[in-house]
Amino acid sequence: MEPAAGSILDHNHHLSLREFPYIIRWRDDRCKRCGRCTAVCPVKAIAPSVKVQRIVRSEGPLPAPTAVRATTHVVEQVTDIERYCTGCGACSLVCPNEAIEPELNPQNKFLHYKNKGGDAYKRGGRRNDPSVSTLDRLKFTRISMLTDPALDAGRHEFRIRSLLGRILPPEEMPLTLDNGVLGIDKKSGKFVPPVREIFPIMIGSMSIGALSPPMWEGLAMGISYLNEVEGLPVVMASGEGGMPPRLLRSKYLKYFIIQIASGYFGWDEIIRALPDMVEDPAAIEIKYGQGAKPGDGGLLMAQKVLKLIAKIRGVPQFVDLASPPTHQTKYSIEEAVAKMIQSMSMAWGFRVPVYPKISGSKTAKAVLNNLARNPFAAGLCIDGEDGGTGAAYNVSMDKMGHPIASNLRECYLDLVKQGKQNELPLIAAGGVGKKGNLAANAAALIMLGASAVAVGKYIMQAAADCFGDEYNRCNLCNTGKCPRGITTQDPKLYRRLDSDKVAERVVEVFKAADVELRKIFAPMGRSTELPIGMSDGLSIDDKAMAERLGISYAC
Amino acid sequence: MCRLAAITSNEYISPMEPIMALETMKEGHDGSGLGLTLKNLGGAFEKLKKYPIMSGICSMAGKKMLDDFMKKEGFTLKHEWKPKLKQVKGIVPHDYYFARAYDYPAAFRNKSHQEKEDLLMNTRLSLRKIGEPGEALFVFSFYPDVLTLKEVGDPLQVADFFGLDDDRLKAKIILAQGRQNTNYAIYLYACHPFFIQGFCSMTNGENTAFVPIREFLSSRGFPGYMGYNSDSEVFTHILHYAVRQLHLPLPYYKDIITPLKSTEIDMRTDREALRLMKQSLRSLCIDGPNVIIGFTPDGTCFMVHDAKKLRPGVVGGIKGRYALMSEECGVDSAVPKRDRSKDLFPMKYDMVIVSPQAEEVKVWNQQQGQY
């Protein structure tokens, strides 16, 4: 096409700032040109520039404006789609004069253009849907009022604990009776599966590699402190990518769930550490799917595979680490799941609960029923569509997957039909705490039938001030350029993050969640046992949702 | 909140005695119903101990339904007791109240006790199923040496309505409940005490863990775990499940409904079994507030609370006669001549167990796992 103005190039194929998701609001009058904003911007969306401008100046004791044309320094937003402003706001954070901030542009056409070179848009974070989720619409409406006394969250004894592991049906307990006293029949040879008592909110799988060393270390320290000092048995899953060799050989291993996924990254080191382990891990999670990107395997971009990560994972540096979508060595659900569970159980002498994690899906019930028949399956983790990830295609994150609420509920009710609701714990994940309501979301899922919930994105936000949100703010986790130092392997970036502060925040978050759970359960008259499946306590303001979830409608 | 009155004795007593005890606790119930379960029957039923007694209420259409069904199933009527009804203001009489002793169908006469129990329960459930539409027929219990009466109204007026002071009906164990109607519509199947295969209990307070417990029991594959018109029915079924189905000694009922903390379990000699039970029976943990009074097939009576003891209860009496009540004034009415200083107010770890024939009363302590 000929340029409109003859041989002079116009800007026809340039994008205007209106197409961009965030527009930088820069204030010339406040800016002192220190350059901090341009230096800190993780994507170089802003750049210092020089312009010739008409400037009105007035010098001297009395107003005497004069207009001059002068060369000035400015901060400009670039219009290269590869350097789009992510809205993270790191520039505002470092600006001494409040001279700059990104502003959300709801009219943007970002997704129209973010496929340069045929490269589909990849990012981190979670589904970009800021609307109120089902979890946040659930309300606790069965309040103990006069007909029975409400409990006192401060005075009564509360046991906010759950069980992780396969639980024997009562009829199969190998009990003996001697003079009216029960014992265990050890001669029966009956397998009693390992079961852990845990806090019902756990930190879900986020790998070393996806997370920076101080972030992972901060989480691990926080978890250990909660267990050792606060007496809150919070557990954390490793994600795919192994664990630090020293931690594998430490007494703190018991607070960690080790994940094995389709890439088996990190498992050389784990197997090597097995003979030296002084404690068993809390559990083994076999990852078959992830709510954020159903059908996709894990993905660690080359830029994040630095020396430490390469060593732990047993791979060369700076190569893309894409786990396959499925476990390649297996081929059917019967074989895949049973064999994996058996192998993992065997590695630890059947002393460790082994459970699969899948993406929320219409097929979840089929997996569940397979597990229900497998006496070694220790549970099922279902990760709903609002789960987060360090790297995935935007289309997978935004459009693939199943919301957790109804998926979890139908699985629980299916177990109820079979009478196995107490035998196979369900762990719900994906969008828990999306709007900050961690305890309320967790309690709602528990009342719908979850034995525990897992959080990932929430803890990054709450413990390490992750900028990411559902307006596609930041979401740079995949690039290794996390401005907070959470999801990067670049020492220049991750030195911004103080692992002690992360640990402190983890402790604060869980202690507060413990209090909030009591504040929810106490008025509902529950304190002794977790109200798993107490669906009469819940209501929602939508009839169709109420019907689907088998709860009451309240408005 | 309902008021509960139970008397266990080595002599036959009139149902008026626990009802009079209920009357002393009248402040606590609103007269929305009376439920009575009598065990170890005297009077005309004394000589019919081996025959199952069906207790219920029906319309005339329901009576035909009942007669036809029982005939078809091969049961033969041995004896029938009917209350001599009096007109009492406020009570709308049903057509027909009955307690009928039947002989087993010929094919079942030599069957085992368990098979007979299952036959009786299944018969009761079948009658409930066919009789419930239109409320034509209610069957509360069908078991040897057990009789149940229920009606909506003030307990004393209901007693007057049934003419219970006529001395025809006597028993050694009587459980009576004065109903306080709260959440549920007044429905006869929602009225305590509840009975299943020799196990009976009544409760006051609400059961906040009702739904998960109901779902757990309903999914055991046992046909008798149904109904649940009242959230208290699950307490009877947990008792039955623990003792009859799982063969656990009675005190473990307490360990199921109010399990100890892990640190407390470590102090018990049976800790290994308890840990396993706490996991496997997690869904049956109650959160109260409740006091539960009940009996088992051998005539043992008991009282137990939720773990926070948010509902009171008291047991008092003398050898041969004990009262298990939700309030002290009820015990005063039932056993006035006793040493009150020996009254038992079970605390959160206690289970009070009165042996058959009211021989002795013992307190089983959950922390120690012994009496």
Give the three-class secondary structure for B41: strand
Compute the CA torsion angle A371, A374, A379, A382 (nearest 10 deg): -10
Is-cis flag, bond preceding A491, omega within 30?
no
Q: Do A528 and B259 touch (CB under 8 A)?
A: yes
A418 and B307 within 8 Å at the Cβ level: the answer is: no
How big is chain B, counted in residues?
A: 371
Report the mean per-residue pLDDT for chain A. Answer: 93
Look up the CATH number of domain B3-365. Answer: 3.60.20.10
Name the residue among A175, A416, A531 with its Cβ closest to that of B209: A531
| pLDDT for residue A329 | 67
Instruction: Report the distance separating Cα B11 and Cα B318, nearest Å.
Output: 13
Structure confidence by residue, pLDDT tens digits, B5-59: 999 999 999 999 999 999 998 776 566 788 999 999 999 999 999 999 999 999 9
- A529, A532, A538, best to mutate vs chain B, most B CBs in 10 Å: A529
Residue B331 to residue B315: CA distance in whole angstroms: 7
A163 interaction partners in chain B (CB closer than 8 Å)? 279, 282
Residue A389: CA count within 13 A, CB half-sphere: 30
* Residue B324: pLDDT band with limits 50, 70, 90: very high
Identify the band that residue A8 occupies on the pLDDT scale cut at 50, 70 and 90.
Answer: low
A473/B54 Cα distance (integer angstroms) = 71
The residue of chain A with its CA nearest to that of B211 is A534
Q: How confident is the model at residue A241 (pLDDT cuts 50, 70, 90)?
A: confident
Give the strand pairing for A354-359 and A380-383: parallel
Q: Does A528 touch chain B (CB under 8 A)?
A: yes
Confirm if A143 and A525 have CB atoms less than 8 A apart: no
> Cβ of A526 and B209 within 8 Å?
yes
Is B104 within 8 Å of B75 (Cβ atoms)? Answer: yes
ipTM field: 0.93
Per-residue model confidence as pLDDT tens digits over A19-54: 999 999 999 999 999 999 999 999 999 999 999 989
CA distance linking residue B156 with residue B92, whole number of Å: 15
| Minimal Cβ distance to B285: which of A177, A529, A533 | A529
Percentage above 70 pLDDT, chain B? 97
* For chain A, percent of residues with pLDDT exceeding 90: 81
Taking an 8 Å cut-off on Cβ atoms, the answer to whether B219 and A163 are in contact is no
Q: How far is CA B78 from CA A456, B151, B224, in A?
A: 70, 25, 25
pLDDT tens-digit map of A274-320: 999 999 999 999 999 999 999 888 888 888 888 888 888 888 999 98
Q: Which of residues 140-169 of A touch B (CB under 8 A)?
A: 142, 144, 147-149, 151, 156-157, 159, 163, 167-169
What is the C-alpha to C-alpha distance for residues A396 and A478, in angstroms, rounded to an integer? 14
C-beta of residue B53 within 8 angstroms of C-beta of residue B100: yes
Residue A9, token pair as written in the block: 């190039």
Q: Where are chain B's structural domains?
A: 3-365
Q: Do the beta carbons of residue B25 and residue B311 sit within 8 Å?
A: no
pLDDT value at residue A3 = 54
pLDDT digits (tens, 9 = 90+) for A358-415: 999 999 999 999 999 999 999 999 999 999 999 999 999 999 999 999 999 999 999 9
Beta bridge partners of B328: none
Structural contact between residues A447 and A538, judged by C-beta atoms closer than 8 angstroms? yes
Q: CA-based angle A99:A105:A110, to the nearest 5?
A: 120
Q: A531 and B212 in contact (C-beta within 8 Å)?
A: yes
Contact B248 A182 (CB under 8 A): yes
Q: Among candidates B231, B232, B274, B233, which has minimal Cα distance to B252?
A: B274
User: What's the CA gap between A422 and A170, in Å, rounded?
Assistant: 10
Cβ contact A380:A371 at 8 Å: yes
Q: How many CA atoms lie within 13 A of A185 on its CB side?
A: 11
- Chain B residues touching residue A199 (CB < 8 angstroms): none
Q: In which region does residue A98 sit, left (phi positive, over 0), alpha (psi from -120 to 50) or beta (all else)?
A: left
**A-B contacts (CB, under 8 Å):** 125
All residues at 6 or more sequence positions from A372 whose CB lies less than 8 Å from its CB, including other chains: A415, A418, A420, A423, A424
Residue B120 to residue B114: CA distance in whole angstroms: 10
Do A159 and B369 lie within an 8 Å CB cutoff?
no
Instruction: Please return the burial class of A256, using the count of CB atoms within 10 Å of its CB with bins 0-12, 13-18 and 19+.
Output: buried
Do A421 and B270 make contact, defined as CB atoms within 8 angstroms?
Answer: no
| C-alpha neighbours within 13 Å on the C-beta side of residue A64 | 4
CA distance A516 to B222: 38
**Per-residue model confidence as pLDDT tens digits over A459-495:** 999 999 999 999 999 999 999 999 999 999 999 999 9
Residues of chain B with Cβ-Cβ distance to A157 below 8 Å are 261, 308
Report yes or no: A196 and A235 within 8 Å, Cβ to Cβ.
yes
Structure-token pair, residue A358:
């899948």
The total number of residues shown for chain A amounts to 555
**pLDDT at residue number B311:** 84
Q: Strand A538-540 vs strand A122-125: parallel, antiparallel, or unpaired?
A: unpaired
For chain B, the average pLDDT equals 93
Q: List, for residues A245-276, the tens digit of each pLDDT value.
A: 999 999 999 999 999 998 889 999 999 999 99
CB-based contacts of A13, cutoff 8 Å, min separation 6: none
**Residue A2: which pLDDT band, with cuts at 50, 70 and 90?**
low
pLDDT number for residue A98: 96
Distance (Å) of CA A73 to CA A28, A29, A49: 9, 12, 6
Burial class (CB in 10 A: 0-12, 13-18, 19+), B232: buried
State whether B216 and A421 contact (CB < 8 Å): yes
Residue A323: the pLDDT is 85
Name A22's bridge partners. A104
Q: Can you tell me whether residue A30 is helix, strand or coil?
A: coil
Reading the block at residue B358, the tokens are: 């009211």
The packing angle between helices A457-464 and A213-225, to 10°, is 90
Q: What pLDDT sits at residue B26? A: 79
Tell me the chain B residues in contact with residue A526 when contact means C-beta distances shorter than 8 Å: 208-209, 287
Distance from CA of A172 to the nearest CA of B (A): 9
Residues A53 and A244: their CA atoms lie apart, in Å, by: 56
Contact A371, A337 (CB under 8 A): yes
Strand order in the sheet with A139-140: A139-140, A538-540, A552-553
Sign, CA torsion B227/B229/B231/B235:
negative
Q: Which of B184, B284, B308 should be substituted to probe chain A, the one whose Cβ sees the most A Cβ atoms within 10 Å? A: B308
| Helices A499-521 and A213-225, axial angle in degrees (round to 10) | 50
Interface of A with B in 531-550 (CB under 8 A): 531-536
A144, A151, A162, A175: best mutation site toward chain B, by most B Cβ within 10 Å? A175
Structure tokens at B98: 């009955």
- Amino acid letter, residue B307: A
Q: Does A491 touch chain B (CB under 8 A)?
A: no
Q: How confident is the model at residue A226 (pLDDT cuts 50, 70, 90)?
A: very high
Could you tell me the pLDDT band of residue A155, with boundaries at 50, 70 and 90? Answer: confident
Tokens of A505: 């925040």
Q: Which of B216, B221, B262 is facing A422, going by the closest CB pair?
A: B216
Q: What is the DSSP letter of A21?
A: S
pLDDT at A149: 67
Structural domains present in chain A: 17-57+64-119 (3.30.70.20), 137-169+199-464+503-524+533-553 (3.20.20.70)
Structure tokens at A239: 């994600």
- CB distance B272–A171 less than 8 Å? no
Looking up tokens 């035909």 gives B64
The pLDDT of residue A151: 76
A531 vs B contacts (CB less than 8 Å): 209, 212, 287
| CB within 8 Å: B288 and A197 | no
Burial of residue A56 (CB within 10 Å: 0-12, 13-18, 19+) is exposed
Question: Do A371 and A362 form a contact (C-beta atoms < 8 A)?
Answer: no
Give the tens place of pLDDT for each residue, B116-143.
999 999 999 999 999 998 899 999 999 9
Tokens 């009996």 found at: B295
- Among A115, A79, A94, A81, smallest CA distance to A41 is for A94
Which DSSP category does A132 fall into? Answer: P
- Report whether B206 contacts B242 (CB < 8 A): no
Q: CB distance B249–A532 less than 8 Å? A: no
